[in-house]
Chains A and B, each alone.
Chain A
Amino acid sequence: MTTHPSEKRSRFDPEPMPRRDFLGLAALGSMAAAFALSIFGMLKLPKAAVSASPAKKFNVALPDTLPEGEAFVPPGRNVAVFRDADGVFAISTVCTHLGCIVKTSAAGFDCPCHGSGFQKDGTVRKGPAPTPLPWLRVSKNGGVLTIDEEATVKTGTKV
């Protein structure tokens, strides 16, 4: 679009917004945007897309002599495996309160850190734990059990 010479603004006429102010504001605005975006980008860094951790699925064979009601703890795992007349089941031993490792006791499980207590089926007996100890998915593969620490199943599921 061309402007007719007569419409040309005199240099004595003030512009609605002086050019310098506009450019100044635009520069400040783009700087603020760049700043905000770069902070956003930096904040993304500390949250890893993939985190290294050992496999959560493992195989274990229960000893034949394991008495009913007694826990078998696979080496290096925070899981208690039980066998009774109805089948085999696995309960996580990570306290649902603040992540300490519970110990089996006569009453079920007890946490050393803040005194949470759980029944033998993992439901909360006392203390601050907000939720029951989760039961973990167990699949039978011949004499070997595959336990998945990440997959929980309904309390009472035995295989």
Chain B
Amino acid sequence: MKAEGYSALHEFWINLRAIPNHVYRAMFRGGPPKTDRTRSSFIFGNVFLHLHSVRTHLWSLRWSTTMGLGIMTTAAFLITLVTGILLMFYYKPYPDVAYQSIKDIHFIVPTGRFMRNIHRWAANVMVIAVILHMARAFYTASYRKPREFNWFIGWGLLVTTLGLSFTGYLLPWDQLAYWAITIGANIAQSPREITDALGITAWADIGGLQREILLGSDKVGEEALIRFYLLHVMILPLALVMLMAVHFWRIRKDGGLAKPANADELVAEEAKEFYPVFTDAPTKTYHLAAVVKGKTSAVGSGPEHTVPSMPHLFYAELGVLMLTTLICVALAFVSDAPLKELANPLVPENPAKAPWYFLGLQEIVSFSAFMGGIGIPMLCVIGLGLIPFLDREKEGTGEWFGGPGGWKLVKWSIVVGFVASIGVEAFAIHFGWLREWFPDIPQLFITFINPGTVLTAIYAAYSIWAVRRYNSTRAGALALFTCFLCGFIVLTVIGTYFRGPNWDFFWSPSDWGGH
């Protein structure tokens, strides 16, 4: 049907010229996002943006609330995603060939070395940011009802992130990679330490099964490489993306970030700058066509202390994205991702070290494979996941070091955490451990009584004391989490800087000597 007064051909010409404008308008269901109302409608109707709430509380936008750590983790992930896909153009997951393809990427492929460096640094930034982000959520008591499940999802994201790092480690097929994976696979096999001691390995060889599934063979070879590749580029990223979607969605559905009860008063000064709330009166009203359990998070609170997410929140997010990119690119400029000699199954590196964030683990693994590699980490991981269900108090939600004890307790926990871990390590390094004193001691004693388990027991005892002292589960959680964070730092530093050939103690890597 042609319009009045024009020939169809003329109208075709008009339509042709109007294509850019019409496509632009068709992109936005509620009209171009130029007013607060159309921006809200844009966020609400956009499949990617609707994970955000359309308005954001001023408290959430404060730097001190989140320090942007969650967004930084996400940004680092996006950077690894992009650079990882680029690296896949050249990488070939087959032993020896893999090593050559990494060399090609490093020396021949245009920007290849740079992309690999960025990938590697972004992965490191992601690990650091995700740990700090978890610490932030913990210390501000943001895991409490109704956010327990989101803490749980975040916990899954932490584990997946570490899994991604570890699987990426094998892919270059150099000495570092080969021996890290050999050790990793044997940690998976270490339940044998228990089944052997009990004499039931022949019937219930859980460890052997885990190792075989992981490696697809009885040794680290082509099957292991393709499995780790599959995990690294497909299974774990898919899991991560799905968990991320739920994680972000739940932030909105749980009523935004956790805030202190008096958050509105705290931001009252800033809120005065944002007026009017709506620049455009709503043209329609809506009602919720669903039965909502409990009251929704916005009931009883007006939009007075919130600002439109677009642009305020988006600017903050893009700022963190730019900062993260800058950090990764700058680090990639100054420091190359390592590539050692081609993997040699006959001669391990000496010392053979895992990536830095696993060196704390390697330190306690050097006391007992099972307790260090599986027992204590499982305890930590399960304990972390259950925090929101074990601490169901209300005091201090949304405040830094909120809850009974507060900063004073955390301060003392830092002292206890450092003193205990350094003390236990110094004792074990200086005096040795049970086997040096009693050569015939049964293995089960070593498995259950070693510096790692002793340290765990000290931390647990201190935390139980904190629960009783402050009569609060939150106080116990603060003590335990802080202690483990300190222990993680101490063990990681010792594993990184003070362990040399044969995992002996050295004051400095320059004392390692030639070999």
Contact = CB atoms under 8 A, between A and B. Distances in A.
The secondary structure that dominates the B interface is: helix
Contacts of B351: 112-113
Contact of B446 (A101, A115, A130): A130
B196 A131 contact: yes
Contacts of B501: 112
Contacts of A76: 346
Interface stretch (B178-186, B398-406, B483-491): B178-186
B502 A112 contact: yes
Given A46-B213, A51-B223, A98-B182, A112 B446 contact: no
A47 B213 contact: yes
B352 A113 contact: yes
Contact of B182 (A47, A99, A128): A99
Interface string B448-475: 0010000000000000000000000000
B122 to A, nearest CB: 28
A94 to B, nearest CB: 10
Nearest to B182: A99
B321 interface: no
B366 A53 contact: no
Interface residues of B, number: 48
B362 A130 contact: no
Interface string A108-133: 00111111000000001111101100
Interface string B348-360: 1111100000000
Contacts of A112: 348-352, 501-503
Interface residues of A, number: 27
B502 A130 contact: no
Contact of B365 (A103, A114, A125): A114
B56 interface: no
Given A114-B503, A115-B503, A128 B217 contact: no
A71 to B, nearest CB: 14
A122 B227 CA distance: 34
A34 interface: no
B186 to A, nearest CB: 4
A100 B216 contact: no
B368 A48 contact: no
B369 A130 contact: yes
A113 B351 CA distance: 6
Contact of A130 (B196, B347, B504): B196
A98 B213 contact: no
A126 B352 contact: no
A98 B365 contact: yes
Interface in B209-227: 209, 212-213, 216-219, 221, 223, 227
Nearest to B212: A47
B432 interface: yes
A78 interface: yes
A55 interface: no
Contacts of B335: none
A17 interface: no
A-B pairs with lowest CB-CB distance, top 5: A112-B350, A115-B503, A114-B366, A98-B186, A99-B186
Given A53-B217, A103-B350, A114-B365, 7 more contacts: A51-B217, A53-B221, A98-B186, A112-B350, A114-B362, A128-B365, A128-B446
